[in-house]
């Protein structure tokens, strides 16, 4: 498949491709009738989930599925500490930021303390990561007087009208803005020894020059700091510095999209950008902040927000409500008290090591990479040419679903298994993943 993939169709249910059974088919028909044609279901045979518990999702028959894909519930499904905080707060007060309340201030103090040593000074809350990135772009335009945006080739930053225009992974049917420039993702596996930092810096500089040539002033470079949708590309620590220097020299801002890498997932820091020794102008966050509650937002420097705050201001009725803030504080408490960043490093290393060990038996495994509780497994049809094997990847994803292990795929070739378990994943569950992947790869090879 040439060009960018369509994120909406990655691992999607396609009617008629597989027998889903009469009851499931009836539910799908009802869903389509009521919700319309824009939604998508995952897997060739969609799942009907009725309950969640830790790393598990459970269907109506009581079958348990190990969820190693859903980044939103970063602490696992229905974490008791978060559930208790939500129930307590919703029974006390649920209101918005036009009134004074302490919880939002505690949340701001706690989050800003995680970026001590940077110029990040303020917290602004939204309901989703898409909203956070939309707000970041509004600020960047006001601060810089520009509109130009630089993103990577299969980036995903959200679904609003403005943000979809710089989310190439949404596919060819969603037009990129004329103010958007796309640069190659920093793929070490395909770099043939070229310095990733130098290459990425040169690509960003070329994009800046092209914007200017067309009379477009740069406003921002925005990257997911682990390049998740591009294929989970942690790269060597520090390689982003040159590109960040380039956008700032051109008058633009650097926006670190931490919707997926943030909240301890990398296993070494709270935020992905901290691995690179950077101080962003804006850091955007998503619903992992509240373990699935509709709370997201951004941390921003005084310089980046000053004019926007004076001229445009900001209000979002639901964002920053007391219930969601209570959930977010509970998430921070849990990460700290359960030492989940260190846990992510330890269990993530076990997961990567276990999968890497399978490469000796399965030629389809071209590369295993990641950091913390974030793993990408690139499947290829030929290790010498590193040719993407989309068909095997889709087959493996669906075989794993049938074995009770849920994940999906990403990258321009739709050939990278994207693994983002909850931070509470255990060693025993890692062993289940490795065994399931071993079996799925063997079955896919014999069927191919």
**Burial label, 429 (beta-carbon count in 10 A; 0-12, 13-18, 19+):** buried
pLDDT for 394-405, tens place per residue? 999 999 999 999
Mean pLDDT value across residues 407-431: 96
Question: Is the model's pLDDT at 178 over the cut of 60?
Answer: yes
Q: What is the pLDDT of residue 448?
A: 67
Strand partners, 255: 222, 282
Cβ contacts of 171 within 8 Å, gap of 6 or more:
4, 5, 6, 7, 8, 9
Mean pLDDT value across residues 102-126: 97
Question: Is the model's pLDDT at 44 over the cut of 90?
Answer: no
Q: How confident is the model at residue 313 (pLDDT cuts 50, 70, 90)?
A: confident
Question: Is the model's pLDDT at 5 over the cut of 80?
Answer: no
H helix count then E strand count, the chain: 12, 16
Q: What is the pLDDT of residue 16?
A: 74
Higher-confidence residue of 16 and 259: namely 259
Q: What is the pLDDT of residue 38?
A: 85
Q: Quick check: 352 and 417 in contact, CB under 8 A? A: no
Mean pLDDT value across residues 156-166: 96
Q: Quick check: 256 and 283 in contact, CB under 8 A? A: yes
Q: What is the pLDDT of residue 1?
A: 34
Q: In the sheet that 282-285 helps form, which strands lie side by side, from edge to edge?
A: 120-126, 296-301, 282-285, 253-257, 218-224, 148-152, 180-183
Q: What is the pLDDT of residue 10?
A: 54
b (16+ CB within 10 A) / e for 28-44: beeeeeeeeeeeebbbb
pLDDT for 279-309, tens place per residue? 999 999 999 999 999 999 999 999 999 999 9
Could you give all domains of the chain from N- to C-terminal order, each with its CATH number?
A: 47-78+339-447 (3.90.1150.10), 80-337 (3.40.640.10)
Q: What is the pLDDT of residue 3?
A: 45
Q: What is the pLDDT of residue 300?
A: 98
Mean pLDDT value across residues 186-193: 93
Higher-confidence residue of 98 and 111: namely 111
Mean pLDDT value across residues 407-418: 94
Residue positions counted in the chain: 448
d(CA 127, CA 320): 8
How many angstroms separate the most distant Cα atoms in the chain? 64
Count of alpha carbons within 13 Å of 171, Cβ hemisphere only?
10
Indicate the pairing of strand 365-370 with strand 375-382. antiparallel
pLDDT for 345-391, tens place per residue? 999 999 999 999 999 999 999 999 999 999 999 999 999 999 999 99
pTM of the model: 0.94
Q: What is the pLDDT of residue 2?
A: 38
Mean pLDDT value across residues 321-340: 97
Question: Is the model's pLDDT at 318 over the cut of 90?
Answer: no
Q: What is the pLDDT of residue 13?
A: 81
């Amino acid at each position: 498949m040439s060009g960018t993939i369509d994120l909406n169709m990655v691992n999607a249910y396609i009617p008629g491709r597989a027998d889903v059974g009469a009851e499931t088919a009836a539910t799908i028909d009802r869903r389509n009738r009521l919700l319309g044609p824009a939604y998508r279901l995952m897997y060739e045979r969609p799942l009907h989930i009725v309950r969640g518990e830790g790393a598990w999702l459970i269907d109506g028959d009581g079958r348990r599925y190990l969820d190693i894909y859903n980044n939103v519930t970063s602490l696992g499904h229905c974490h008791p500490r978060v559930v208790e905080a939500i129930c307590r707060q919703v029974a006390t007060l649920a209101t918005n930021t036009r009134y004074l309340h302490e919880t939002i201030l505690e949340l701001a103090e706690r989050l800003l303390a995680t970026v001590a040593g940077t110029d990040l000074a303020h917290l602004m809350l939204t309901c989703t990561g898409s909203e956070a990135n939309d707000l970041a772009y509004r600020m960047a335009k006001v601060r810089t007087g520009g509109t130009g945006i630089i993103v990577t080739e299969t980036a995903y930053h959200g679904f609003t009208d403005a943000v979809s225009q710089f989310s190439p992974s949404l596919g060819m049917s969603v037009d990129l803005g004329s103010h958007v420039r796309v640069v190659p993702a920093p793929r070490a596996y395909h770099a043939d020894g070229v310095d990733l930092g130098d290459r990425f810096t040169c690509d960003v500089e070329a994009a800046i020059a092209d914007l200017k040539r067309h009379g477009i002033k740069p406003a921002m470079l925005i990257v997911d700091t682990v390049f998740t949708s591009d294929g989970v590309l942690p790269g060597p620590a520090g390689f982003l510095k040159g590109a960040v220097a380039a956008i700032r020299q051109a008058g633009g801002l650097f926006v670190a999209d931490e919707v997926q890498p943030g909240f301890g997932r990398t296993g070494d820091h709270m935020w992905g950008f901290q691995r690179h020794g950077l101080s962003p102008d804006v850091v955007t966050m998503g619903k992992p902040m509240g373990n699935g509650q509709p709370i997201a937002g951004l941390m921003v420097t005084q310089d980046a927000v000053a004019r926007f705050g004076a001229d445009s201001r900001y209000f979002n009725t639901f964002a920053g409500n007391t219930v969601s803030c209570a959930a977010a504080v509970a998430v921070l408490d849990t990460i700290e008290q359960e030492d989940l960043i260190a846990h992510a490093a330890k269990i993530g290393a076990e997961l990567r090591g276990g999968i890497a060990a399978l490469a000796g038996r399965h030629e389809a495994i071209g590369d295993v990479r990641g950091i913390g509780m974030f793993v990408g497994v690139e499947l290829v049809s030929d290790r010498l040419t590193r040719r993407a094997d989309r068909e095997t990847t889709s087959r493996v994803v669906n075989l794993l679903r049938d074995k009770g292990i849920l994940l999906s795929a990403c990258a321009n070739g739709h050939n990278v298994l994207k693994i983002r378990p909850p931070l509470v994943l255990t060693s025993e569950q890692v062993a289940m993943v490795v065994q399931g992947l071993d079996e799925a790869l063997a079955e896919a090879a014999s069927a191919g």
